[in-house]
Structure formats: C-alpha cells, structure tokens
Amino acid sequence: MRAPGIGRTAGTIADLVGRRLFGMAGASVDELRQARRALSKEVRELPPRALIAAAERVSRMPRPGHRFVAYELILRHPSAPGLIGPAELARLGRGMASWDAVDCFSIYLSGPAWRAGRVPDSLIHRWARSPDRWWRRAALVSTVPLNSAAGRGDARRTLRVCRMLEADRDPMVVKALSWALRVLSKRDPEAVRAHLAARSGALAALVRREVRNKLETGLKNPGRRTPKR
C-alpha cells in the first residue's frame, strides 16, 4: 500500500529528472552519470517506494539516457534496491528496446533481485520464452550478477537459462549468451568447459569462439588489448 502523497512526490521527482535530462541529447555515459549523481544527492532521503515510483515514470520518458538514469537512481538509493521484485521489474522494464537499456536493467535491477531471492527462477524462465528479443536478452544478462564479484557463482541457474536460449539466433541474444558463459567461466571454468563439450553443436559459432577464447586466454577476442562484451 502506498503512503499518502506518494504519487505527488513521485511525480515531482520525475519532473525534476525530466528537466535535468532535457537537452542532453548526445551526452556521454559520464555526463549522464554526473547528472544522476547530483540527482541522487537530492533524493537520498526520499522514501524508497516514492523513489521507485519516480524511476518508473522516468523510465517511460522520451529523454536521453532516461532508463540509464532511472535504473541508477534506484541502484544508488540507500534502500530502494531491496524493494525490487517481480511487479516493480515488470513496470520498470516495460518498453525496453535497446541493448543498453536491457543491460542496465539486468545488471542493476533484475540480476541482483534474482540473486537475493526476491525474484523466482520461473520469472527469468518466462522472459527466456518471451517473443520479445529484449526480454530474452534480459533473461541471459540477469545471470551476470549471479557470477560477478558480488555473487557466489551459480552454474546451475546460469546454464539452465543458457540451454533455454542456445538455439536462438537473434544477434542480441547470441551476444548475451556469450557474455553469460564468459562471466561464468571466471567462477566455474570446468562447468563452462563441460557445457561447451556437451552443447557445442547447438551453440552459435560466435558463442563457441568467444567462450573458448575466454577460457584459453582470458580474453573474448585475443587480438584486442582489453576484453569487451
């Protein structure tokens, strides 16, 4: 149940964010993050439910970097991340239509919520079966926080999602599958080697190549100096 006045407070904050983002077309990630940091200071004391409601409004705005800023405002709020569950994710993810929006959503919100047990496996599996390419990508990228430095590693749940999408040849999904397996390879290389051996025939050539490179050299593409997604 929302506290009295939360809609007005959320609307006021959303309007503030919208005004700050107006005219920032072409802004770099660093510039958007600088704007977000200033906003985070102003909303730090806002009740978490109000902040999430404001972020939901911002995520629907036709503004440069609107989803990036909305998701980071939640991520950097003292207590809002702990309130993110299936209902909030459905609202915050509605209308995602780019890889950068999906990746911010999955790394900042859905993946950590899944890792913390606030999101059931069944929800991620439902995304993996979605006709929408962006929700399918979100299912895969949500595995990344399971195996990041903040997580404990989870080969079972990661590989389950990877198997669900191994036949998908949408480029956005294929690249996310490679990313999911490469991140897991840092936590559990033997599980990834076994997966490649068992499922090699079903995986896209790009996935096989990049994941093997990661296992053998530590890089996605050894010809480059630094690894990239």
Using one digit for the tens of pLDDT, what is the confidence trace for 112-158? Answer: 999 999 999 999 999 999 999 999 999 999 999 999 988 889 999 99
User: Which ranges in the chain are annotated with CATH 1.25.10.90?
Assistant: 88-229
Class of domain 88-229: mainly alpha
HEC readout, 122-167: HHHHHHHCCCCHHHHHHHHHCCHHHHCCCCCCCHHHHHHHHHHHCC
pLDDT tier for residue 221 given thresholds of 50, 70 and 90: confident
At residue 224, the pLDDT reads: 65
Q: Where are the alpha helices (DSSP H) in the chain?
A: 6-21, 29-43, 48-59, 66-75, 86-93, 99-104, 111-115, 121-128, 133-141, 144-147, 155-165, 171-187, 189-199, 205-217
pLDDT, tens only, 79-115: 999 999 999 999 999 999 999 999 999 999 999 999 9
- Whether this model's pTM surpasses 0.75: yes
pLDDT, tens only, 40-81: 999 988 999 999 999 999 999 988 899 999 999 999 999 999
